[in-house]
């Protein structure tokens, strides 16, 4: 198989300067803070709790998949 050239560490690394990236990050941060200030604190609490529940659901699904793999491997062939 032919060797592939190494991929850039950052998307568009050769086209976008570091200064542009810094401005983009600052703008994104300010935009998020602006949107967050428009929402009531109860929304943020609800959002955080919903996110936590989704992550716990994913954890459970992964744990179940791992347990099923272990059971499959223990079965005699």
What is the reported pLDDT for 54?
98
What is the reported pLDDT for 3?
77
CB atoms under 10 Å from CB of 67, counted, come to 10
Instruction: Write the burial class of residue 4 (CB in 10 Å: 0-12 exposed, 13-18 middle, 19+ buried).
Output: exposed
Tell me if 10 sits within 8 A of 4, measured CB to CB.
Answer: no
Take residue 54 and report the two structure tokens written for it: 């989704």
What is the reported pLDDT for 42?
94
What is the reported pLDDT for 74?
86
What is the reported pLDDT for 9?
72
What is the reported pLDDT for 1?
56
Phi, psi of 2 (to 5 degrees): -65, 145
pLDDT along the chain (77 residues), means of 10: 68 81 95 93 94 98 96 82
């Amino acid at each position: 198989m032919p060797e592939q050239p190494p991929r850039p560490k950052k998307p568009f690394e050769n086209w976008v300067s570091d200064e542009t990236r810094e401005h983009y990050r600052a703008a994104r941060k300010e935009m998020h803070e602006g949107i967050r200030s428009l929402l009531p604190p109860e929304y943020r609490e609800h959002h955080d709790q919903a996110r936590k529940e989704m992550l716990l659901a994913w954890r459970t699904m992964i744990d179940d998949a791992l347990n099923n793999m272990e059971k499959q491997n223990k079965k005699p062939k």
